[in-house]
Amino acid sequence: METNCFIAMITMVTGLPRSGTSLAMQLLEAAGILPFTDGQRLADASNPQGYYKAEIVKTLPQDSTWLAQAEGRAVKVIHLLLPHLPDNRYYRVLVMGREIDAVLRSQRLMLERLGQAGAALPEARLQGVMQAQLAQMEAWLAARPRLPVLRLGFETCLADPLNSSGQLLRWLELAHQLTDQQQLARVLKQRSPQGPSGD
């Protein structure tokens, strides 16, 4: 990979809400990829380590000029916005996957903590909507075979932190030793499956 491409590379972190995208941002930060955030959404009981969001990302369908500020950084973006990425920049995409039942449970728990109501749809219908959205995302990714894509499973990251960390470092094309891999694994080990089911 050419140096200028690497410097300009934007690492997009995506997946369903509550699929582990904030955890992925923590891993990237530990690996030396700075997060593109605005600090407006503070850490809370649902995401004790923070949300790693930037509100300007939501404007992507209307305005993508802010991507210049995100070069060399990691950006958390909802899966529905991926098709709005302009073709004049270098990207790689980290997709976080999680069992849809677990995603829905985590979403309900977060809304309860915030005192908000959830979607007025039966759970089976919500699952269908999410599956359809993921299929659309996968079709978009498949149409771009040269786009570097890594898929990490939330449950797998927690169950096998060392191998998951090594997989990420290799995908990032970062020279690393076992100690670097262990450093990232510690980020995952701090996230107990019985603890807060973070984003």
Helix then strand then coil, in percent of the chain rounded to 5, is 50, 10, 40
Supply the CATH classification number for the domain 3-189.
Answer: 3.40.50.300
Domain ranges of the chain: 3-189
Q: What pLDDT digit, counting tens, does each position of 114-159 carry?
A: 566 555 567 788 889 999 999 999 999 999 999 999 999 999 999 9
Highest mean pLDDT among 27-36, 97-106, 179-188: 27-36
Rg (CA), the chain: 17
The set of residues, in sequence order, having a beta carbon less than 8 Å from that of 44 and lying 6+ positions away, is 113
Q: What pLDDT digit, counting tens, does each position of 38-94 carry?
A: 987 666 655 656 678 999 999 999 999 999 999 999 999 999 999 999 999 999 999
Residue 158, phi then psi, degrees to nearest 5: -75, -35
Residue 74, phi then psi, degrees to nearest 5: -105, 135
State the distance between the two ends of the chain, measured CA to CA, in whole angstroms: 31
Contact criterion met (CB below 8 Å) for 19 and 102: no
pTM for the structure as a whole: 0.85
Q: What pLDDT digit, counting tens, does each position of 157-199 carry?
A: 999 999 999 999 999 988 778 888 898 999 988 875 544 445 6
- Residues 121 and 73: their CA atoms lie apart, in Å, by 36
Angle at 171 between CA 102 and CA 57, to 5 degrees: 60
Q: Average pLDDT, stretch 25-35? A: 94
